[in-house]
Chain A
Amino acid sequence: MQDSREDPWQVYGATLSSRLLVGTAQYPSPKILADAIRASEAEIVTVSLRRESGGSGAGQSFWSLIRELGVRVLPNTAGCHTVKEAVTTAEMAREVFDTPWVKLEVISDDDTLAPDLIGLVEAARILARDGFQVFPYTTEDLGIAEKLVDAGCEILMPWGAPIGSGRGLNNPYGLRAMRARFPDVPLVVDAGIGTPSHAAAAMELGYDAVLLNTAIAKAGDPVVMARAFAQAVEAGRLARLADPMEPRDMAAPSTPVIGRAFTAA
Chain B
Amino acid sequence: MLISVNGKPCEVRAETLAALLAELEYEDAVVATARNRDFVRRRDRAQTAITEGDEIEILVPKQGG
- The residues of A with any CB-CB pair to B shorter than 8 Å are 23-27, 33, 46-52, 56-60, 62-63, 66, 75-76, 78, 84-85, 88, 91-93, 95-97, 163-164, 213-214
Q: In the complex, what residues of A have CB within 8 A of residue B42's CB?
A: 95
- The residues of B with any CB-CB pair to A shorter than 8 Å are 6-7, 25, 29-34, 37-39, 41-42, 57-65
Q: In the complex, what residues of B have CB within 8 A of residue A46's CB?
A: 64-65
A88 contacts which of B34, B62, B65 (Cβ < 8 Å)?
Answer: B34
Q: In the complex, what residues of B have CB within 8 A of residue A214's CB?
A: 65
Determine whether the beta carbon of B62 is less than 8 Å from that of A47: yes
Determine whether the beta carbon of B65 is less than 8 Å from that of A96: no
What would be 29 A-B contacts, judged by CB atoms less than 8 Å apart?
A23-B63, A23-B65, A24-B63, A24-B65, A25-B63, A26-B63, A27-B63, A48-B62, A49-B32, A49-B59, A51-B6, A51-B57, A57-B29, A58-B60, A59-B29, A59-B60, A60-B60, A62-B61, A88-B34, A92-B32, A95-B32, A95-B39, A95-B41, A95-B42, A96-B31, A96-B32, A164-B65, A213-B65, A214-B65
- Min CB distance A72 to B, Å, is 14
- Give the nearest-CB partner of A90 in chain B: B39
Determine whether the beta carbon of A47 is less than 8 Å from that of B64: yes
Determine whether the beta carbon of A163 is less than 8 Å from that of B65: yes
Q: In the complex, what residues of B have CB within 8 A of residue A27's CB?
A: 63
- Min CB distance A169 to B, Å, is 18
